[in-house]
Chains A and B, each alone.
Chain A
C-alpha cells in the first residue's frame, strides 16, 4: 500500500478518536444553561468529524494515477529511501529532543553550544577550531539579542548558578 493511503488510514483513525470525544464524551461536562444554546462547543468538531471521515475515505479509495513523472532533481524519491542519510536526520531529531529537555537544566548557553557543535559533528564537520568559536559567538549574540534587546528572559547558565 502506498504511503499516502497509510497516512489516510492514520488520519481516519485520528478522526475516529476525535469524533468519539466530540460525540460521546465532550457534552457530559456542559452546564445545563449552555445546553439551551443552538450551538455547543462540540457542534463544530462534530461537523469536522463527518467531513474528515468523508475526505479520508476518498483519499483512501481513490485509485492512484500512474506515476510516470520523472523525478525532479534534488527531490526526495521515496523508492530510493535507502540512499539517503536517514540516520543523520534521525540523529538530529533526537538531538533536538535532547536540546528541549536540557535547555532548562543546562541553561541556554551550554545547551545551545552543545546542540550546534554536536549537530555539526553529526553532519561530518571536524574543524573544531572554526566550529567552537562560531558556535560561541552565535550563542552569545543571540542570547544578548533575545534577553537584552527583546527583553525575553532566557536563563544563560545552569539553574544552580543563578
Chain B
C-alpha cells in the first residue's frame, strides 16, 4: 500500500494535477451552489473539458474535485437559502437554514466545511484500506459473477429507493436498460432499435441523457416555481468562528457519521442522500433531552451529521466504481462514462494495470478536501455573492450549458432535439415522483450487463451458468430478495392500513 501511496503522491503532486484539484474544487463549489445544478449535472457539463485534457489521471482528479466541490457548494445554498442544489444536502438545510436565519450563517458554513473535510478525509482513508482488499477478491470474479453482481447492484438501487418507490425505481431501471440497448449491440454489429435513423446507430449519448434527466427538469422546475430559487439575504456573512465547546460536541458526531456514511456510500444505490438523512436521523435519536429538541431549530449536531455523512458517502461510492467497475450512484455512473471515454476501464484490474490512476485519485481526494477547507472557508462570503444572480439570467445560462454539454459530446444538433425530448419526459417523470437516477445507472450499466451476460451464455452454452456457478446463483437470489423484501413489507403495511378509514 505504501508503494502505491508513493506512486499516487508523485503523480498527484505534479503542478498540473494540483492545479486540476484546485480548479475542480473551485468550479464545483461555484456551480454546485446554484440551485438546479447538482454534482451530476456539473460533472456531465465538465466531461468534454476532462476528455479534452486527455490524461486520465488529470481528468479524474479534475472530476473528483468538481464532485467534492459541488457537494460542498450544495450545502452552502442549503444553509443560506434553504434551496439545496443537490438531494444529498437536503438534510443539511434542516438545521443549517434555521442557523442562518438566527444570524449564524458564518458559523453554520464553518461547521459544514469542517464536517465535510473530516467526512471526506476519513472516507478516503477507509477507501484506501478497503479498495485493494475488495479488488483482490473481485479478481476471482468471472463474467457470470459480474453479470450477477450488476443485477444485485441494480436491484439494490431500486430496493433503497424508499417505501412505495421500489416498483417505480425498478421500472426506471428497466427503462434505462431498454434505452441502453438502442444502437449497435454488444455481440454483433447489428444496429438494434434504431428505426433506421443514422443518429441512433451509436446509441444515445450518456451525457445527453444525464443532462436531460437532471439538469433540464431542475431548470424547468425553477422556471415553473420561482419560490424554489428564492434569493434570501445572503449579502453579509460574518463570524465564521466556532467555540471550543461546540467543537467538542460535534467531534463524536463527525467520527460516527464518517464511518456510517462511508459504509452506506459503498452500498450501490444508497449514496449521499440516504447517508445524510440516515445520519441526521441517527444523531437525533441518540441525542439527549435538550439537544434532541434543538434538532430542526438550528442544532450544530444536526448540521454536522448530514454534512459529514454525505461527504463520507461520496468517497464510499468510489469503492464499487474503482474496484468492481460498477457505479453505485448517478454521479459515479457519469464518472464511469467519462473514464471509459478516456480509455480507462475501472474494475479490479485498475489497480494492477494503471496503479498511478488509482492512487493518484485517492491522494487527490485528500488534497481536494484540504483545498476545499483552505480555499473555501475564507472565500465563503465572496462565493455566496453568486447566489444573488437574478434568475432571469441564471436560467437561460443553465439551459445553455446543458445544451452545450450535450452538443459538444457529439457535435451534432440532432442531439439537442433528443436532449429536449428526454428532458420533457424526465420532467413528467419527476412530476409523478419517479426516481431518475436508476434510469441513468441502468442505461450505463446496460451495455456492460449485456456484455457479461453474453460472455457467460457463450461460455456455458446457455443459461447453465446460473446453476453451475454457486456464487452467481447466490448473488441472483440476493438480488431477488432485495427486490421482494421491501415490496412484501409495503404490502403488509398496506394490509394493516386497510383497517383504518383513510379518505382518499
Q: Is B467 among interface residues, defined by CB-CB distance under 8 A?
A: no
Known: A11-B175, A41-B192. A65 touches B497 (CB 8 A): yes
Within 8 A of A (CB), among B401-424: 403-404, 407-408, 411, 413-414, 416-417, 419-420, 423-424
- CB-based contact B404/A18 at 8 Å: no
- CB-based contact A65/B190 at 8 Å: no
Contacts of B397 in A (CB 8 A): 116, 138
- CB-based contact B420/A96 at 8 Å: yes
- CB-based contact B432/A4 at 8 Å: yes
Known: A48-B178, A89-B224. A120 touches B392 (CB 8 A): yes
- CB-based contact B168/A96 at 8 Å: no
Contacts of B220 in A (CB 8 A): 89, 92-93
- CB-based contact A41/B188 at 8 Å: yes
Q: Is B280 among interface residues, defined by CB-CB distance under 8 A?
A: no
- CB-based contact B224/A76 at 8 Å: yes
- CB-based contact B171/A134 at 8 Å: no
Q: Is A38 among interface residues, defined by CB-CB distance under 8 A?
A: yes
Q: Is A141 among interface residues, defined by CB-CB distance under 8 A?
A: no
A26 CA to B181 CA in the complex, in Å? 13
- CB-based contact A4/B433 at 8 Å: yes
A88 CA to B219 CA in the complex, in Å? 12
- CB-based contact B457/A39 at 8 Å: yes
Within 8 A of B (CB), among A116-138: 116, 119-120, 123-125, 131, 134, 138
- CB-based contact A55/B174 at 8 Å: yes
Nearest-neighbour CB distance to chain A for B152, whole angstroms, equals 15
Known: A11-B171, A84-B225. A115 touches B400 (CB 8 A): yes
A99 CA to B406 CA in the complex, in Å? 13
The binding surface of chain A is classed by DSSP as helix
Chain A: interface size category: 35 or more
Within 8 A of A (CB), among B223-265: 223-228, 230
- CB-based contact A92/B399 at 8 Å: yes
Q: How many of B's residues come within 8 Å of A, CB to CB?
A: 71
Known: A97-B420, A116-B400. A45 touches B181 (CB 8 A): yes
Q: Is B7 among interface residues, defined by CB-CB distance under 8 A?
A: no
Question: Which of A51, A63, A65, A66 touches B174 (beta carbons < 8 Å)?
Answer: A51
Q: Is B350 among interface residues, defined by CB-CB distance under 8 A?
A: no
- CB-based contact B461/A38 at 8 Å: yes
A151 CA to B414 CA in the complex, in Å? 21
- CB-based contact B170/A38 at 8 Å: no
Question: Which of B48, B170, B188, B396 touches A119 (beta carbons < 8 Å)?
Answer: B396
- CB-based contact B462/A38 at 8 Å: yes
A11 CA to B404 CA in the complex, in Å? 29
Nearest-neighbour CB distance to chain B for A133, whole angstroms, equals 12
What is A's interface to B at a CB cutoff of 8 Å? 2-4, 6-8, 11, 14-15, 18, 21, 26, 29-30, 34, 37-45, 48, 51-52, 55-56, 58-59, 62-66, 68, 73-74, 76, 78, 84-86, 88-89, 92-93, 96-97, 99-101, 103-104, 112, 115-116, 119-120, 123-125, 131, 134, 138, 142, 146, 149-153
